[in-house]
Structure 1
Amino acid sequence: MAWHPKTMITHHMKKMMQDQEEDVEEEVKQKTSWSWRELLESVFGDEIKNMKKDKVAHKSPRSCNLYDRKPDFKNSYGWSVSLDGSDYSPLKSSGIGIYHVNLKPGSMMTPHVNPRATEYGIVIRGSGRIQIVFPNGTNAMDTHIKQGDVFFVPRYFAFCQIASSNEPLDFFGFTTSAQKNKPQFLVGATSLMKSMMGPELAAAFGVSEDSMQNILNAQHESVIVPALQAGQ
């Protein structure tokens, strides 16, 4: 079948236009893809770089078992262990820390303040009480907690947990910071009050230095101590 010159020209022009349209579409796609890549890299640059590194390395972050760690603190009344971004790098990107505390029957985690994070806790075994105080010193909460209960303590609020006299208090939770929390304890051998001890502190309480010293030295234990009155 012979093609008429005009038909051939028309066909060729259509083919050229089609090819040109395809080239333009491809160029637009490439530009759009490049624009999105530039946008994503400008916003999520570090994370994209890390993802690329992980892809090249072909390996996911290692797991970390909290129960394999040596407790940060342990004595006759219980123990506590925590995990932050310096211990497990994936926590840095999530911005949280993890902790686990076990109090033996009749023991107490001494009153303390979290200077860097809000704390969330879940009671996984036993029962007891949690007491929270507003920064101005007034009572915020004093309530019984048992297995399955969830609680939270805002940053800068003083609080303590007390195990019941007849069973332990075992709780696990999260903090809203991947940095080391460094809780400030208000009672016990390593309390903030002891580091502040001096004539000014005694004068603030209206007592002599000797009296203040006797008060601060009355508790020889630190962090976890026997409670005078166990939670009911």
Structure 2
Amino acid sequence: MAKLATLLPLLLFLLTASLVLSRNTDREQYGEGGEHPESEQSSNNPFFFDEKSFRTPLKNQEGNLRILDRFTQRSHLLRGIENYRLAVLEANPNAALMPTHYDTDEILFVVAGRATITLMRKENKESYNLRKGDILRVEAGTTHYIINRDNKEQLFIAKLMETISVPGQVQVKFTGMDHMPFFGIGGRNPESYYTSFSKNILEAAFNVTILHFEQAPFNFLSLLNDSLPLSLSLSTTICCVFHLQTEDDKVRKVFGENQEGAFLSVPQEKIRQIAQQASSSSEEGRTHGGRRRGPFNLFEKHPTYSNQHGQIYEVDSSDYPALQAQDISVAYAIIRGGSMLAPYYNSKAFKVALVVDGKGHWELVSPYGSARSGEGRESQEESVSYQRLSAELSDGNGLVVPPGHPSAIVAERGQDLRVLCFGINAEENQEHRLAGRDNIYNKMNKAEREIFFKAPETEVREVLNAQRDAGIVEGPKGSQESEGEGHGRAFQSILGFAGF
């Protein structure tokens, strides 16, 4: 009893400390209380994807294909886009991706380099010379190959893939991953799908007579003349067996002899021959049934926003009708160093973004907390509160901005930040700006402002009208630490800077 009396104060202290720590942790995670929590680290942000989130099912010395993990693998909050995948294709100069097809509808965007793509459709074959800024839709099941026709520059293509057969999966599992496309011509890696058919099927399909190895020695030896020397008989038999082995695998040899991998080097003369027969986005493009089938260049359209802080280019189905079939839009933002993509939200669209070049900082406001599984605060008795999620951005990072979620991006001072964005459910989407000249609250009249804003009218008008730029504005001043302290320091709250 004496020992228990001695330990009791210590036990009470530990219990109290545990409860306090638990309560503080909950408040940080879910934003309870009067103050907003500190920004979540990128590792706890269900809407941010670093380079480790990409898998690489195809890779050799000439190129690679990287595909982002399924969105729902990260969070149930992203189940609205579970059928979509973000992918990046890179190819060395004068390298080609083998002919392939996917069970996905694809929107391709040429981030850098020059390419020639050939599409082998049911009714014809189409070839297009692609350049930076070109957008091209490739329908599911279309066998196609891509060649980097530049002698010096690496080819960089971003793709939004909408899966057909299995939600979120790019068909055929490969070394434990579900990212493998279909290759007709192949070898060791990737394999040709022809080699998986039985011999009888291939024989009938290609009308090739396949003599079976097991019957060859017996049939041939029965024709030998017993008077021939034994040495001649054996020599003739060995030659025949070798010939029969070649016949036995004729179809497999034609389609399965490529051992170089999915990407291979191509002679420049062959590339020139193919490119000369291709059309481009600067031409009218080929049509089928009255529809334009060729590429459309995003940079040929006048930017939606353009000022000293950067430009935003946007393309939808009214510019490129091929986007209508998948209800997709494409945007490209160039944010000058130290400038900011002003806070905004989308009415209906999910925005799936890829950081193409540069460094910066991203903030998103969510009512769901930061739980990866998608479970946030569910108690109906709790008051409305928000979680600020943030991430430090660099080349190759992926972002998702769900509908209704306010978001902003700042470019690090000293270098431009370039971000490519695919919009899903884009047809009737509207972008609502929350700061700047086109701030949605500037549409209120004086009577409305006096009803809803409790600050004096002069202060409300001062805040709403102080920022005269639109879309892209000057970024937070003094928001970064000195260069010697590194890039990882958090910016001040973007929304706080904007007056929220």
TM-score (norm 2): 0.34
- Larger CA deviation: 81-90 vs 175-184: 175-184
Q: Which residue matches 2:467?
A: 219
Shift of 1:196: 2.3
Q: Structure 1 residues 57, 217: closer, same or farther in 2, change over 3 A?
A: closer
Counterpart in the other structure of 2:404? 156
Kindly tell me the number of residue pairs found equivalent between the two proteins: 181
Matched, 1:84 2:316: yes
Which residue of structure 2 aligns with residue 181 of structure 1? Answer: 429
Given that 1:202 and 1:212 are in contact with CA atoms closer than 8 Å, whether structure 2 keeps it comes out as no
Could you tell which deviates more after superposition, 222-231 or 209-218? 222-231
> Matched residues in 1 for 2:425 and 2:291: separation?
26
Whole-angstrom distance in 2 between the partners of 1:220 and 1:85: 30
1:60 and 1:184, CA in 2 relative to 1: closer, same or farther beyond 3 A? closer
User: Partners of 2:449 and 2:361 in 1: how far apart?
Assistant: 30
Structure 1: distance between partners of 2:467 and 2:347: 23
CA distance in 2, matches of 1:195, 1:168: 32
Partner of 1:62: 294
What is the CA-CA distance between 1:173 and the residue it aligns to?
A: 1.7
Tell whether the 8 Å contact from 2:292 to 2:321 is kept in structure 1 after alignment: no
Partner residue of 1:45?
none
Per the TM alignment, residue 174 of structure 1 is displaced from its structure 2 partner at its CA by: 0.4
| Aligned counterparts of 1:202 and 1:55: Cα–Cα separation in 2 | 56
* Cα distance change, pair 86–203 in 1 and its aligned pair in 2 (3 A): same
Letter in 2 for 1:205: F
Q: Out of 195-204 and 144-153, give the one that drifted further.
A: 195-204
Q: 1:207 aligns with which of 437, 452, 455?
A: 455
Q: 1:72 aligns with which of 284, 294, 304?
A: 304
Deviation string, structure 1 residues 8-42 (Cα, Å, up to 9, x no partner): xxxxxxxxxxxxxxxxxxxxxxxxxxxxxxxxxxx
Whichever residue aligns with residue 192 of structure 1, its letter is: I
Amino acid at match of 1:166: G
Once superposed, which parts of structure 1, at least 4 consecutive aligned residues long, lie more than 6 Å away?
A: none
SS of residue matched to 2:469: coil
TM-score by length of 1: 0.70
Residue 354 of structure 2 is matched in structure 1 by 122
Q: Which has the higher contact order (CA 8 A, sep 6+)?
A: 1
When the two chains are superposed, the root-mean-square deviation of aligned CA atoms in Å is 2.5
List runs of 5+ in structure 1 lacking aligned partners. Answer: 1-50
Partner AA of 1:104 in structure 2: R
Report % sequence identity: 23
How far, CA to CA, are the matches of 1:83 and 1:150 in structure 2? 20
Q: Structure 2 counterpart of 1:70, which letter?
A: H
Shift of 1:201: 2.8
- C-alpha contact (below 8 Å) 1:190/1:222 kept by paired residues: yes
The equivalent position to 2:328 in structure 1, one of 96, 99, 111, is 96
Whole-angstrom distance in 2 between the partners of 1:75 and 1:204:
32
User: 1:67 Cα deviation (Å)?
Assistant: 2.2
Does the 8 A contact of 2:348 with 2:426 survive in 1? no
Letter in 2 for 1:223: G
Q: Judging changes above 3 Å, is the alpha-carbon distance between structure 1 residues 181 and 81 closer, same or farther for their aligned structure 2 residues?
A: farther
Determine the C-alpha separation between the residues in 2 that align with 1:182 and 1:210: 30
Structure 1 contact 84–180 (Cα < 8 Å) conserved: no
For the residues of structure 2 that align with 1:62 and 1:72, how far apart are their CA atoms?
23
Q: Could you say what secondary structure the match of 2:452 adopts? A: helix
Shift of 1:139: 2.7
Larger relative helix fraction = 1
Residue 137 to residue 174, structure 1, CA distance change in 2 (3 Å): farther
Question: Quick one: structure 1 residues 199 and 146, their matched pair in 2 at CA, closer, same or farther if it must change by over 3 Å?
Answer: same
Distance 1:137 1:124, change over 3 A: farther
What code does the residue aligned with 1:150 have?
Answer: G
| Preserved CA contact (<8 Å) 2:327 2:425 | yes
CA positional deviation for 1:223? 1.0
CA gap 1:141/1:120 in 2 versus in 1, 3 angstroms: same
Deviates more, 1:84-93 or 1:100-109: 84-93
Following superposition, the deviation at residue 216 of structure 1 comes to 1.0
